Structure 1
Amino acid sequence: MSMLYLWHPSVSADGTVVDFILTRGDSDQVGGGSERFVSALIGALDIGAEPLKWGIKPYRCNYYSEYWEEEGWESKWDFIWRVTIHFRVQVAIQPLKLGYLGIDDIDDYSPEVESYKFEPFSCLAVGVFDSENKAKETARKVITDKELTAARREVQAADPVVQVVRVTDGAFHLRAALGSGDDKFFLGGYPELVLSFLQASGAVIHAQA
């Protein structure tokens, strides 16, 4: 097993921002991203350009959970890190054949490495579509649907931040940051309602085993 796994990289329309997901392997040592660690991630994607800036944020996410069929919200909403790297120049990446790469580097230790374990947990709902138009249409509805809006207000969450990214020619990921909270947030119905909405709209809500 690798130390970490890098999943589903995508490049922004202008070619200057790379976005991908990290999940745990034998390690969970991911913090804010040391220069050495980010260089290793860029190298794994065969990007030769120097990064301008980057951000790494931990979430609990449905799509990459290894134990999603087990009982309990913690199993369905497992820990991941979303990585965003900005470049001064346009870059390109090749889609990953398996959807992921094993990474044997870990971040330098800092207090941020431990922070993902503690409440409040940020929530990232992910659904994968085979049509970009359908993904974008659903993204709009995640924000405007009346039932989702009512559920969101009940848990006092802000409007979701929703993005559609192209991972391959036939895979478009809808990534919706739903807010953050403790176990009551995840048990309160809003995150599950979003997943049901994505699935009913034609999305796959869990990675293939």
Structure 2
Amino acid sequence: MTYFIWLPRVLDTAPPSVELFLTYGDLEEIFDGTDEMIEEVLADVGVDDKILSWSLTRYRSGYFDGNYDGENWEERWPLAVRLGVELSDKPWLDEVPPWGYIETEAVDYEPPDSFMRMAWPPTPCLVLANFTGRSALNQAWTQVSAMVPEATFSTITVADESTQLRIDLGERDYDFYSGGAQLAVEVENLCSHHGGRIRG
């Protein structure tokens, strides 16, 4: 497989839209994306509606690290590329397997002529935690908000009907991640302390 597809969901927007995350499989780069790549990714989650527009946003998140316990920070905080797609009609998504992701063979073959990126550009740090109870989620939200006032928060319902708290810690640079991303680890630990599941 080239990439893994995580957390596909339909958004209640006008026009209808879909959101999902892509992480690296056998390929270790997503450039600016292509229409063909996006169509194939959507087909892999059961969507064949007309695409009106799409966008890619890069994050780093420990949620997708597979409980990695080594010393490579890029494995501990892998890139997770959010794909947002506006569609002509409200779609139906295929069910995600119990292991949490769908494999795709979609390929973003090579960078466009205009593609230029630093080896490790500043990238937003995203902590995700799934909670079965709203009270525990609210406690984690309150404490993280006090710890990181600049963080932004949102919640979604995920496949197992738990509620996922999404905490965007803002753009962070190479030194932050290579130094262990301690602030993000503290946020993960706090969420875990309140019963949040911090791995996909």
Please classify the TM superposition score into its range, dividing by the shorter chain length: 0.7 to 0.9
Corresponding residue to 2:174 among 162, 183, 203: 183
Q: 1:59 to 1:49 in 2, by over 3 A?
A: same
Q: 1:171 to 1:116 in 2, by over 3 A?
A: farther
The TM-score with structure 2 as length reference comes to: 0.82
Q: C-alpha separation between the residues in 2 aligned to 1:64 and 1:74? A: 11
Question: Alignment partner of 2:63: what SS?
Answer: coil
Q: 1:79 to 1:202 in 2, by over 3 A?
A: same
Shift in Å at residue 204 of structure 1? 0.9
Q: C-alpha separation between the residues in 1 aligned to 2:160 and 2:73? A: 32
Q: C-alpha separation between the residues in 2 aligned to 1:143 and 1:174? A: 11
Question: Alignment partner of 1:198: what SS?
Answer: helix
Q: C-alpha separation between the residues in 2 aligned to 1:135 and 1:51? A: 38
Where does structure 1 lack aligned partners over 5 or more consecutive residues?
150-158
Counterparts of 1:1-209 in structure 2, within 5 Å, are 2-14=1-13, 16-66=16-66, 68-71=68-71, 73-98=73-98, 99-111=100-112, 115=117, 117-131=119-133, 133-134=134-135, 137=138, 140-141=141-142, 144=145, 146-149=146-149, 159-186=150-177, 187=179, 189-207=182-200
Range moving further from structure 2, 171-180 or 34-43? 171-180
AA matched with 1:94:
D
The TM-score with structure 1 as length reference comes to: 0.79
Q: 1:189 to 1:21 in 2, by over 3 A?
A: same
Q: C-alpha separation between the residues in 1 aligned to 2:18 and 2:139? A: 23
Range moving further from structure 2, 19-28 or 64-73? 64-73
Question: Alignment partner of 2:38: what SS?
Answer: helix
Q: C-alpha separation between the residues in 2 aligned to 1:139 and 1:14? A: 28
Shift in Å at residue 36 of structure 1? 0.7
Q: 1:76 to 1:86 in 2, by over 3 A?
A: same
Question: Alignment partner of 1:199: what SS?
Answer: helix
- Work out the percentage of aligned pairs sharing the same amino acid: 21
Question: Alignment partner of 1:63: what SS?
Answer: helix
Question: Alignment partner of 2:158: what SS?
Answer: strand
Contact 2:56–2:82 (Cα < 8 Å) also in 1? yes
RMSD: 2.7
Shift in Å at residue 64 of structure 1? 0.8
Shift in Å at residue 43 of structure 1? 0.9
